[in-house]
Structure 1
Amino acid sequence: MCLGSLVLVNCLGRDRWGIAYECVEGQMTAHRNFKQRVRARAAKTGESYTAALRHFRPTPTGEDMPENTQTALRIAVAQSTVREDPTDADGLRASAAEIRRFMKDAADGGARLVHFTEGALCFPSKIVMSELGPDEIGPSDWSKAQWSVLQSELDEIARLSGELGIWTVVPSIHRLPAPTRPHNSLYVVSDQGKVVARYDERTLSYTKINYMYTPGTEPVTFELDGYRFGLALGMDAHFPELFTEYERLDVDAVLTSYETGGDPGKDTVATEVRGYAAANGYWVSLAVSANPSSTHAGVIGPRGAWAAECPPDGKPAVVIADLNREDTISPLARNWRRQTRTRIGS
């Protein structure tokens, strides 16, 4: 697998659920009946057609389309050791080894997905990377990074995802052809060991956008066992409009990776994302660095309370939580909020 050559598309096949449109009467009838069932659910629950659609999945043959009755999904979130030197091959390998250990812990705990912080593999220091350094911050010299080691470790993480049968959401630097600066990215690796999505941080800090990275441009979602996830990275955590955007995209949870570094003021991120969870009625998984002077990692429920928390001592750890649709606000309440936001122009 070559992560550097990844092209991200949300491929939906012939129609959203892979049901063919060929002129075969039986298939067309099945499709019409399916749409009627989706509309019936939407009318009953007050959901939009798109929201109702997500509760249905076709069988492999496409002949029967039963309603998806699964209500719970187990996920894990980690607070990880963060190293700042991508020129240090041994440091990259040590970070990757910790990631793989937490992947195994999450799989042993029955999690279907494990989520890591910004910098879990490496959080490149602006001083280390500066071409004017070490005493002056300037444009980053990315030729110094150990790209081959980073690629090898990412490939091993993907391989282990397939071996364990667990989805892994892990941040890393995404290399672009020189002289374009890389993206600060989140990779989504499926339980088949394949990269199925990539999100690029959009709201870069002053230093990141002027000296280090190329910003992303789009929100990204993916689906797992009937649940839809959005992705947020780095400074995204300080912009509520991005989280409102994901609510409009009908997500069940937003996986937020943020490197706190123990800097003063950065511990407010937990307060911010708890507010986003409550305001939008979905879960937020907050993955942060292992640091005793900053906030800790955990999963926040759709009413803004912690559903699960890593130890507050800041030591490297992983924690597991169950997402359950029975805990969310009603579809009618969610639709009312959307309609109100539209009316007031937010």
Structure 2
Amino acid sequence: MTQNGNLKRRVRARAAKTGESYTAALRNIRQQPGRPELRSLRLAVAQTSLFDDPRDVSALRASGAEMRRLMRDAHQAGSRLLHFPEGTTCWPGKRIMSETGPRSIGPSDWTRFQWDVLREELEETRRLAGALKLWIVFGSVHRLTSPHRPHNSLYVVSDHGELVTRYDERLLSNTKISFMYSPGRNPVTFEIGGVRIGCALGTEVHYPEIFVEYETLGVDCVLFSTAGGTPSGAPAFAAEALGHAASNSYWISFSTLVPQSPGAPSGIASPDGQWAVQCPMDGQPAFAVTEIQTTPEGLARSWRKQVRNNLYAPHQIEGDLRSDERSLF
């Protein structure tokens, strides 16, 4: 605690002397010789159009074309990684998929999905990632062997155009678990240039344990992809993402679909729980870019880690009746 307090005073003193922002002063102090190496990553976050009918071949083609256009633009902006929302390729509507018809929600009929078209679009997108030397993370349905329901997934494709890993949503909504998807099992992390990244998906922003788990895994950033619920409920998703960034002291990239953007556009939250950058709130496909950095001396993070490891356990007061008593005075 004293060490953190001393660092804060040094940062404030430098900022007052040089006129730098607190963040810039902290970065420059951390980059001094003898301090842990800082690593950075130019990250772009996208918001994309809603395509909810997997029977519609033209819509699947359009979603692929939109992804690739944003990839080219993000590459031109110098991005190393482009993060897309849940259901980038298609976010199947629960009533469209219901085998009992659109008037009720029942088990999904996955034979309606144009799987061959999806595969063609994903292959073209993968090849473009390799050609652009751009990492991409995007939401898609991952088909399993019948009769098993598919996973709701995030694919991670490297700048060599190779599928590195896949994250499957673990904590599903009631409709998803009852009628649509099979749950995933494990957290997923990967690294780009020494920056460690975790993945979360769908409604998992409602579950702090997902984000605490990634903190224990030592990530520098979590990519959270969502369809955002209803447009009126989308701001709550964004607020929770900011809270997780602040409470775990790491970056969070929040990627959602364009219908949510008037209330909660895609954006990247810094470890202090503030938006570093956001997409426009105009309901149009777009991306936003910022430079994220590792925080080897995160002021709050190291202290909270100690607290979570029972820092205070040796200092518990035992044998004092006034400590055990639950009275006002």
Q: Please, which of 138, 158, 162 is the counterpart of residue 194 of structure 1?
A: 162
Q: Please, which of 287, 292, 298 is the counterpart of residue 267 of structure 2?
A: 298
Query: Judging changes above 3 Å, is the alpha-carbon distance between structure 1 residues 74 and 310 closer, same or farther for their aligned structure 2 residues?
Result: same
Superposed, which structure 2 residues align to 1:10-159 within 5 Å? 69=37, 71-159=39-127
Q: What's the TM-score once normalised by structure 2's chain length?
A: 0.81
SS state of the match for residue 343, structure 1?
A: coil
Aligned to 1:16: none
Is the contact made by 2:266 and 2:279 (CA closer than 8 Å) also made in structure 1?
A: yes
Aligned to 1:338: 305
Shift of residue 175 of structure 1?
0.3
The one-letter code of the counterpart of 1:238 is H
Distance in 2, matches of 1:72 and 1:200, equals 27
Distance in 2, matches of 1:297 and 1:283, equals 14
1:318 aligns to 2:287 (yes or no): yes
Shift of residue 343 of structure 1?
1.8
Is the contact made by 1:68 and 1:226 (CA closer than 8 Å) also made in structure 2?
A: no
Shift of residue 332 of structure 1?
6.4
Is the contact made by 2:249 and 2:300 (CA closer than 8 Å) also made in structure 1?
A: no
Distance in 2, matches of 1:333 and 1:312, equals 32
Is the contact made by 2:38 and 2:296 (CA closer than 8 Å) also made in structure 1?
A: no
Aligned to 2:224: 256
The one-letter code of the counterpart of 1:248 is T
Q: What's the TM-score once normalised by structure 1's chain length?
A: 0.77
Shift of residue 315 of structure 1?
1.6
Distance in 2, matches of 1:71 and 1:183, equals 33
The one-letter code of the counterpart of 1:201 is E
Aligned to 2:178: 210
Q: For structure 1, which segment, 184-193 or 266-275, has the greater mean C-alpha deviation from structure 2 after superposition?
A: 266-275
Distance in 1, matches of 2:43 and 2:129, equals 14
Shift of residue 250 of structure 1?
0.2
SS state of the match for residue 155, structure 2?
A: strand
Is the contact made by 1:175 and 1:182 (CA closer than 8 Å) also made in structure 2?
A: yes
Runs of 4+ in structure 1 displaced over 3 angstroms? 67-70
Identify unmatched segments of 5+ residues in structure 2: 1-34, 313-329
Distance in 2, matches of 1:152 and 1:261, equals 28
Aligned to 1:220: 188
Aligned to 1:229: 197
Shift of residue 68 of structure 1?
9.1
The one-letter code of the counterpart of 1:207 is T
Q: Please, which of 155, 158, 177 is the counterpart of residue 145 of structure 2?
A: 177
For residues 223-279 of structure 1, the C-alpha deviation after alignment (integer angstroms, 9 at most, x for no partner) is: 001100000000111111100100000000000001025443232111101010011
Q: RMSD over aligned Cα, in angstroms? A: 1.9
1:285 aligns to 2:253 (yes or no): yes
Query: Judging changes above 3 Å, is the alpha-carbon distance between structure 1 residues 316 and 192 closer, same or farther for their aligned structure 2 residues?
Result: same
Aligned to 2:16: none
What count of residue pairs does the alignment treat as equivalent?
278
The one-letter code of the counterpart of 2:49 is T
Distance in 2, matches of 1:126 and 1:252, equals 34
For residues 79-121 of structure 1, the C-alpha deviation after alignment (integer angstroms, 9 at most, x for no partner) is: 1001110111110110110000000111111110000001211
Is the contact made by 2:87 and 2:141 (CA closer than 8 Å) also made in structure 1?
A: no
SS state of the match for residue 231, structure 1?
A: strand
Shift of residue 293 of structure 1?
4.0
The one-letter code of the counterpart of 2:264 is T
Shift of residue 196 of structure 1?
0.3
Distance in 2, matches of 1:83 and 1:307, equals 28
Distance in 1, matches of 2:217 and 2:105, equals 38
For residues 108-157 of structure 1, the C-alpha deviation after alignment (integer angstroms, 9 at most, x for no partner) is: 11110000001211100110101101212110000110000001111111
1:165 aligns to 2:129 (yes or no): no
SS state of the match for residue 77, structure 1?
A: strand
Distance in 2, matches of 1:344 and 1:91, equals 54
Query: Judging changes above 3 Å, is the alpha-carbon distance between structure 1 residues 174 and 275 closer, same or farther for their aligned structure 2 residues?
Result: same
Shift of residue 336 of structure 1?
2.2
Shift of residue 329 of structure 1?
7.2
Query: Judging changes above 3 Å, is the alpha-carbon distance between structure 1 residues 176 and 145 closer, same or farther for their aligned structure 2 residues?
Result: same
Is the contact made by 1:229 and 1:252 (CA closer than 8 Å) also made in structure 2?
A: yes
The one-letter code of the counterpart of 1:308 is V
Distance in 1, matches of 2:161 and 2:311, equals 44
Shift of residue 191 of structure 1?
0.4
